[in-house]
Amino acid sequence: MLSNKTPSTVRSIINAVQRYKVLNTLTHDCFETALETEQQLLSQKKNNSALNGRPILIKDNFCLRDTLTTCASKMLANFRAPYTSTIVQRLIDHGCIIVGKTNMDEFAMGIASWSSFGPVANPWSLTKTMATNEEDNKTVLHIAGGSSGGSAAAVAANFVSIALGSDTGGSIRNPAARCGCYGFKPSYGLLSRYGMITLVNSFDSPGFFARNIDDLIYATNAVAGPDNEDATLIPKPFKPLKTSTELSKEKRKIIIGLPDDYDIGTLSTEYRSCWHDLVHQLTETGEFEFRRVQLPHTSYSNAAYTILSACEIASNMARYDGIKYGHHTKNIDKNKDTYEDIVTKTRDESLGERVRGRILAGNYYLLQENYEKYFVQSQRVRRGVVNDHKKVFEEDKIDCLLAPVVCDDPITLAEYQKSDHIFSEDDLFTVGANLAGLPALSFPVRLSSKGFPIGLQLVGPFMQDQALLSIAQRICSTYEFPFLDLSIQN
Ligand code: GLN
């Protein structure tokens, strides 16, 4: 179970993905082209990128030319992207081999990666029991987190060493913590969003999953930096992040903030202990100092995120009207149906409940009589969240924050199906970094008593991605996490 060597050939990855189909990590595969690309790369002169020949998976909300790009929705079930996203193109240019598109919550809304393709299962469920048939599976398999659950599960299971995801309100950090791998959301504006199907323009950030921090760095270095196609990017040249071997060995004491406001009642005793134990362990090394800090807008941040994201979603989803592209209802009465009728039927047939709910909520918040009460008020909270973080980083002189990512172990797929899963309390831990555009990294710490990974996150000052990753390297080198490996055939 404890190997960290990821299968390096496309064939071995195909075998592993097929053997563990029950995890449902992919919406569709690119196996044939991946095998061909592998052959081509073998016959070419090697480029010196650390990613050359590296098989990777990409979340199904990134466009790849002529390939299905569905956002795991029936709405885009037949949509072949006419162009390739900047990030994916840069990965290809570095010699990455794209093996498939990963399953996710529909249009990246959610925390369970349950879509029209079915649910992604948490790979750690398989260490406890072997799934048998679809209905029984739901009681023995657990959620993988979301929305980038397919990418997280595939990396955690060791099918691939790196996978691409997106984080709007926690969608990289949440599944990384649930599945037991690293998940990095860089500062907003560092990675191009061109060709990543938008969820919430002002929060969305592409980012990576990996089994070590150096791989996150290789992948981020390969894709970061200015792009004329994305006007929201930081217009400065990108200074490559340093890997563990390039970092200076000088060991300045690190000051880490522990936000009291994240210590909420729903955080389980076990997950709280994991957080506190790590603090004790690190304090004992003498290299870290911890200070309690206040982020007073935290308790409003989930509400503000919910409102602001719904508003942008309502506007972004207007394009899915069944006319321009995507699903188009066949159930049209030519003599009677108006444009609105066609939109309604198209969306009813092809969008899930959560997506429709958010479009409805967003339009409600944006009504003239509600605008001030919801949208403007939430923007004020957003400013408050930004200022809270500025204060702890600048006035309290904190290098980064250490906080939980989720409250407790994952629930089973059956429990999830029964629950009211439209909103998630766990988002409280993650949305702050998106509201403020800050870099954040979730890392696996240990296993819970039931044998599920417990992850924690670090959140750093804006554009201090290098410092954040260096601190993470130092923290994670103080212990060993028992990574899962389903790629080896028993
Ligand atoms: N759980 C959040 C939501 O549903 C996460 C979204 C995301 O980061 N893509 O909005």
CATH number at residue 225: 3.90.1300.10
How far is Cα 11 from Cα 29, in angstroms, rounded to an integer? 13
Average pLDDT value for residue range 367-390? 98
pLDDT of residue 447: 98
What is the extent of the structural domain holding 326?
299-376
309 contacts 316 by C-beta, under 8 angstroms: no
Q: Give me the catalytic one of 59, 101, 138, 185.
A: 59
Which one, of 353, 329, 354, lies nearest residue 341 by Cα?
329
Q: What does the pLDDT read at residue 8?
A: 78
Reported as a pLDDT band with limits 50, 70 and 90, residue 246 is confident
In this structure, the residues whose C-beta lies within 6 A of any atom of ligand 1 are 108-111, 147, 166-171, 199, 309, 424, 427
Is 99 in contact with 31 (CB distance < 8 Å)? yes
Same domain? For 307 and 237 the reply is no
Distance CA 103, CA 117 (A): 7
Stretch among 46-60, 102-116, 150-164, 396-410 having the lowest mean pLDDT? 46-60
pLDDT score recorded for residue 44 = 84
Whether residue 77 lies inside any domain: the answer is: yes
**pLDDT tens-place string over residues 136-177:** 789 999 999 999 999 999 999 999 999 999 999 999 999 999
pLDDT value of position 136 = 77
Task: Using most ligand atoms within 8 A of CB, pick from 59, 105, 435 the residue to mutate for ligand 1.
Answer: 105
Token code pair at residue 318: 């207007």
Distance CA(130)–CA(483), nearest Å, equals 19
Query: How many other C-beta atoms can be found within 10 angstroms of the C-beta atom of residue 242?
Result: 16
Do 145 and 75 lie in one domain? The reply is: yes
pLDDT tens, residue by residue, 298-315: 999 999 999 999 999 999
Tell me, what's the pLDDT at 137? 87
* Residue 57 placed within a domain: yes
Beta pairing partners, 174 = none
Report the distance separating Cα 307 and Cα 465, nearest Å: 28
Query: pLDDT tens-digit profile of 8-43?
Result: 799 999 999 999 999 999 999 999 999 999 999 988
Please give the mean pLDDT across all residues of the chain: 94
Q: How confident is the model at residue 354 (pLDDT cuts 50, 70, 90)?
A: very high
| Predicted pLDDT of residue 35 | 97
H helix or E strand, kind and range, residue 306? helix 298-316
How much is the pLDDT for 489? 66
Q: What integer is the mean pLDDT of 74-81?
A: 96
Beta carbons of 239 and 225 less than 8 angstroms apart = no
pLDDT value at residue 419: 85
CA 172 to ligand 1: nearest atom: 8
Q: Which of 130, 132, 135 is nearest to 118 (CA)?
A: 135
**CA pseudo-torsion sign 189, 194, 195, 200:** positive
Is 284 within the bounds of a domain? no
Domain count of the fold of the chain: 2
Q: Is residue 154 part of a domain?
A: yes
Q: How far apart are the first and last CA of the chain?
A: 10
Instruction: For ligand 1, pick from 60, 115, 151, 171 the residue to mutate: most ligand atoms within 8 Å of CB.
Output: 171
Average pLDDT on 131-138 reads: 75
90 and 200 belong to one structural domain: yes
- Are 124 and 236 in the same domain? yes
CA of 144 to the centre of ligand 1 (A): 14
Nearest atom in ligand 1 to the alpha carbon of residue 306 is 10
Q: What Å distances lie between residue 387 and 391, 409, 439, 461, CA to CA?
A: 6, 32, 16, 11
> Closest by alpha carbon to 446, among 278, 244, 263, 211?
278
Residue ID of nearest Cα to ligand 1 atom 1 = 110
Pocket test for ligand 1, best of 61, 73, 106, 147 (most atoms within 8 A of CB): 147
Between CA 383 and CA 307 the distance in angstroms is 14
Contacts of 194 (CB under 8 A, 6+ apart): 85, 86, 227, 229, 230
In a domain, 261, yes or no: no
Bridge-partner residues for 164, per DSSP? 58, 208
Torsion angle of the four alpha carbons 264, 165, 163, 437, in this order, in degrees rounded to the nearest 10: -70
Give the Å distances, CA to CA, from 476 to 65, 401, 441.
38, 15, 12
Q: Is the pLDDT of residue 323 over 80?
A: yes
Average pLDDT over residues 75-104: 97
Looking at the structure, do residues 165 and 104 belong to the same domain, yes or no?
yes
Please tell me the distance between residue 90's alpha carbon and the centre of ligand 1 in angstroms: 25
**Lowest mean pLDDT, pick from 3-7, 253-257, 378-382:** 3-7
DSSP 324: S
Same-domain check for residues 100 and 21: yes
Residue 363 near residue 343 (C-beta atoms within 8 A) = no
Answer with the one of 376, 411, 430 that is the final residue of a domain. 376
Ligand 1 atom at minimal distance to the Cα of residue 166 = 9
Q: Answer yes or no: is pLDDT of 4 > 60.
A: no
User: Do 74 and 170 have their domain in common?
Assistant: yes
Residue 383 resides in a domain: no
Closest to 174 (Cα-Cα) out of 367, 437, 415, 429: 429
Q: Is 207 helix (H, G, I), strand (E, B) or coil?
A: strand
- Choosing from 115, 143, 302, 427 the residue with most ligand 1 atoms within 8 A of its CB, the one to mutate for a pocket test is 427
Burial 391-410 (b: 16+ CB within 10 A, else e): ebbeeeebbbbbbbbbbbbb
What is the predicted pLDDT for the residue at 131?
67
**CA–centroid distance, residue 37 to ligand 1 (Å):** 33
What percent of the chain stands above pLDDT 70? 97
Q: Is the pLDDT of residue 1 over 50?
A: no
Same domain for 63 and 149, yes or no, is yes
Q: What is the mean pLDDT of residues 211-219?
A: 97
Given the residues 85, 113, 147, 487, select the one marked as catalytic. 147
Q: Which of 490, 489, 456 is nearest to 11 (CA)?
A: 489
Report pLDDT for 422.
Answer: 61
147 is catalytic: yes
CA of 431 to the centre of ligand 1 (A): 8
Shared domain check, 62 and 152: yes
For residue 28, tell me if it sits in a domain: yes
The span from the CA of 145 to the CA of 452, in Å, is 12
C-alpha 352 – ligand 1 centre gap (Å): 15
Centroid of ligand 1 to alpha carbon of 169 (angstroms)? 4
Closest ligand 1 atom to 110 CA: 4
Each residue's pLDDT tens digit, 432-469:
999 999 999 999 999 999 999 999 999 999 999 999 99
pLDDT at residue 3 tops 60: no
> What is the pLDDT confidence band of residue 2, given thresholds at 50, 70 and 90?
very low
Indicate if 93 and 205 belong to the same structural domain: yes
The closest-lying atom of ligand 1 relative to the alpha carbon of residue 169 is 8
Q: Quick one: 340 and 462 in the same domain?
A: no
**Is 370 part of a structural domain of the chain?**
yes
Same domain, 239 and 344: no
Q: How far is the CA of 108 from the centre of ligand 1 (A)?
A: 6
Q: Which of 113, 161, 166, 171 is catalytic?
A: 171
> Is the confidence at residue 86, as pLDDT, over 60?
yes
